[in-house]
Each structure stands twice: as structure tokens, then as C-alpha cells.
Amino acid sequence: MTANAEKQNLYLDNKISLTRVDPNCTHASALLLIHGWGASSDIWQGCIESLQQEFDIYLLDLPGHSLNKELSFSSVEDFVDQFKRQHFSTLPSRFSIIGWSLGGLLGSFLAQAFSDRVTSLVTIATNRRFVSDDGWSHAMPDAEFKKFNQQLSTVDQPSVLNRFYVLQTQGVSSTRNDLRNIKSLLSQATYSLEGLQQGLAWLASYDLLSCWDALTVPTLHQFGARDNLVPHDAASLVVDRYPDRALKVFQASAHLPFITERESWLASTVDFIRANSLQAIKKNDIEKSFSNAAKNYDSLAVFQHQVGRQLMSYLQANSARRVLDLGAGTGYFSESLRAHYSAADIVELDISSRMLASCQERAVSDFQVQADIEALPFEQSSFDIVFSNLSIQWCHDLDNVFKGLADILVDGGTAVLTTLVDGSLFELKQAWSNVDDAVHVNVFDNELKIKTSCEQSGLKLQQWLVEDDVQTFLTLQDLIQSVKNIGAHNMHPNRPKGLMGKNKYRQFVNAYSALQTSKGELPLTYRVLYMVLKK
């Protein structure tokens, strides 16, 4: 690991360990790296310095390998369930996954489990099945695999691993260099016999076809043309069955394209992840959505106004020189802010030009600014008060949002905010889960993630309250229209594209109808977080 690549081990209940590598850039998107069988996270060392320029990196050692040497799971599903329980809050709300060989198998299942949070998946030398059978011949022969597995129990472990390293590097012009490289990278790796045996059992028994069929995450499958363990013919599955997915075959590589053709591998991989790291919602989608809603917004935004009025009650009636209405929308609350702070300059900021045009019509403030909350165009210590009602849930990087708030507030300044948190619109999510695994509902951060981002900014929590606001509707059409009317419909990049079949929609309607209240009304829950922060 390079000297400036500081690592932080992230343990929860002394179970599955992750290692975080601090990024060398701001606003880095998150990336989870998973190595293959008989290796460790050190296998990525040759790529880490380059990846640091783009990503906030998390390294995962497989069960039975190095940091997770003592861990064992009966199945991949058990591992994924445990990982999700432990690291749901550890990982950023949006991240990509790169998995090599067996790591690609686990990465595929994790991408399926975190489908609403994973922005892209890259599998390296990962086969549909790693061991051939009657249904899939483009894999390692069963007899050869069994022989290798038997040797693990009867021959000393270093000799078996050394043979495996040779298999991974054979058949390319750089065999000697690659073999020397992999041995050096893994010189400090440690394993448990049980963990190695378990990994081989997973390689032998799992078929990724159903998992890959269900994946909605943008995926790049990478293969080495000279791979002795995963024949390059395995790529035919991607061509034939998944024509919309990206495929890259490295012509000079065997099982280790990220070592053999490192620069080409980095370029291909970073470009793919960068292109798909939309981090949940495109900014122009947000601007378009709320601009379209601007004309009738105030007549329809009953819920927003109700929440905003409660947020206003948290403001103290003291003197303020400058007040920022952050995510001002139509300027509905600027009038109330003026009543609180009659002598202050009120600045209205929103991403939507049409919303700001509505602000100008109210003529409460002479200062309207079209900008992104994650890139505030103000000098440090510019505002005494920041008011933000149901706006920051559309932001990608909460760490950056709260840091920005801390920068623009004067010492002693106050920010009062509301946002939606995980649990909002859960009825919609629950009903759609009965239909398919696609992302039909916007994803909201959980409380722990928000609180952590806030505390890291240096802002002090003065008040913290979470309330469920349950809206009810007589028809499902009215319920869905209410979400659309306020610009809060599904803008996730992995949302289903194109028209939906009648059968799917009927399934959705039936599932939601089962949630009717005793009065025959359909509920829709918004989980609202109220915050008062002090600098």
C-alpha cells in the first residue's frame, strides 16, 4: 500500500471487517473491491494509487482470508445477509463494486442485495459457473477441480496456493513477471483451511445465471482471452443473454487483467464506473422535475407546507443579518422568514429556474440564486440563519452538504432543516417488491448516515426529531399523482425504463390495495427528520 493510502479498519461486532482507503480527491464516489479465492485485499495494491484519484475505496477480505480469516459462513446468502446487517450504514449511500473471480460471484449477490444503492458492478474473470456441468461447458473441468480440491486437504497449503498462482498466470508473455508480482503482493496474506475449502465449495456449487438475470445494476463483465480458469468463451453468455451489458476481453491477459494489462484495465474500469456513478439521481432530472411542478406547486404541496410550518417553530426570534432559504422552491416560506427577521437580507436559493421565477413574483427578496446545494456559491461565514425544508434528500453527498453549511454559517449561526429519511414511501416500496426487484421508489438515507455526516462537519446537534406523517388517499391514482405533483416521483437512474405491462401494474395495484386502512383509505408515509444545528 502506498504511504499516503491511509487505512482504517471498520469493525462492527468483531464480525466482517472492511478496510477503508482514504481518497486523494474531494467528492470521491465510493468503491467496494472484493478479491478472489486464495488471495487477499493486498492483490489490489498495484491499482490503489490510481483508483484513489477517483474513489473512496473500501476493501473486503473474503471469509477465511486475511482480515476475515476466522470467519465462516454456510452459504453465500448467509454471508450477504450478515454483510448487509453489519455494513448497511458503514458504506456510503451510493457505491460501485468490483469483484474478481470468486469476488465477482459475491459482488454479484451483493449488487442484487443493494440494488437500490449500487451504481455499477464490474466482474473480473467471473464465470456463470466456475466448474463445468451438463448445462455449462465453458468452465474448469469437474475432474480437474476435484483434484485441486483434494490436494488442498492432503498437500501443504503454500504448495497448493503456489500451483494456483501458476494457473492464474500461465499462457501470457508476462507469465514470469505476473507470477512474481502476485507472490509479492500476497506475501503477507493468511488463510484458514476451512475458509479456503468453503471458498472452493462456493465456486463449485453456485450458478450465477438467476442472479445475473435479476440484476438491474449497470454491469461490466471483464475476461482474459488467455485465462486457464475461466475460458474466454464464457463471455458468450454476456453477448447472447445480456446484450445491453458492457463486455471487455483483455487479449493479452489470463486470469489477472488488472495486473497483466493494468493501465488498459484501469482506463476501461474507471470510465465505466464514472459513466454510471450517477449517485442515485441526476441533477438535471431534479431541476426538470421541480421546474415542471413549479406552476401548481403551492396548491398541491400541502404536506411540504405542513412540515415547513412546524420547522418554522424551531426558529428563534433573534436578530439576523443574512438568512438563506436553501431549496426555496416557490419562496412560500420566505414570507414567514421575513416576518421573523424583518431587517435581514433574505437570499433564496434553488436548483430550478422556474421555482425562482415564482420567488421573484412574491417579491419578498431581491436575492435569488440558481445553484446546487452541494456547490454553494457563497463565501465563508455569510449567513446567520439557514432554513431548508425538504430539500437535502435530493443531494448525493451529505458529507459535502453539511460541510458546506458549516462553511457558510457565521460562528454561532443556526441551521434548521427537514429531510426525508429511510422509511419514507415504504408502502410504495413494499407493494412494488411483490412485483419485481427493480427500483421503483426514490432511496432516502438512514438517520445514522445523516447524523454521521452532520457530526463530521463540526456542526453541533441542538435538536433531532423524527416523525412519521401518514397521508391517506381514496384511490391509488390520487396517491401516485400526489407524489408526481410535488416533483418527488422516482428519479433513480436504475428505475425501470419503457412501458410497464398490464400484468405487472395489476400486481402492484393488488399489493397496495392490501394495505388499505379500516376506513378503506390508502396510506402513504413520509418519515420526516427535523434538525436544528449550531456552528
C-alpha closest to that of 388 among 468, 450, 458, 470: 450
Active-site residue 255, yes or no? yes
Q: Are 94 and 111 spatial neighbours (Cβ–Cβ below 8 Å)?
A: no
Strand partners, 111: none
Phi, psi of 230 (to 5 degrees): -125, 95
C-alpha closest to that of 63 among 258, 263, 182, 202: 202
Strand 118-124 relative to strand 95-100, pairing: parallel
Distance CA 233, CA 137 (A): 9
Distance CA 277, CA 275 (A): 6
**Element housing 454 (H / E):** helix 447-456
Q: Residue 530 in 3-state DSSP? A: strand
Burial of 6 (0-12, 13-18, 19+ CB in 10 A): exposed
Instruction: Copy the grid coordinates of residue 241.
Output: 443473454
Distance CA 529, CA 337 (A): 20
Distance CA 95, CA 274 (A): 11
Q: Estimate to the nearest angstrom the gap between the alpha carbon of 65 and the chain centroid.
A: 25
Distance CA 381, CA 379 (A): 6
C-alpha closest to that of 16 among 76, 51, 60: 60
Catalytic residue from among 42, 116, 227, 325: 227
Distance CA 257, CA 223 (A): 8
C-alpha closest to that of 531 among 410, 398, 425, 426: 398
Other C-beta atoms within 10 Å of 289: how many? 19
Catalytic residue from among 65, 255, 440, 492: 255
Distance CA 313, CA 461 (A): 17
Between 157-169 and 175-185, two packed helices, what is the crossing angle to 10 degrees?
140
Instruction: Copy the grid coordinates of residue 114.
Output: 443493494
Active-site residue 396, yes or no? no
Active-site residue 159, yes or no? no
Distance CA 67, CA 61 (A): 6
Catalytic residue from among 17, 29, 41, 101: 101
Helices (H), ranges, 294-383: 297-300, 302-312, 334-340, 353-362
Catalytic residues: 101, 227, 255
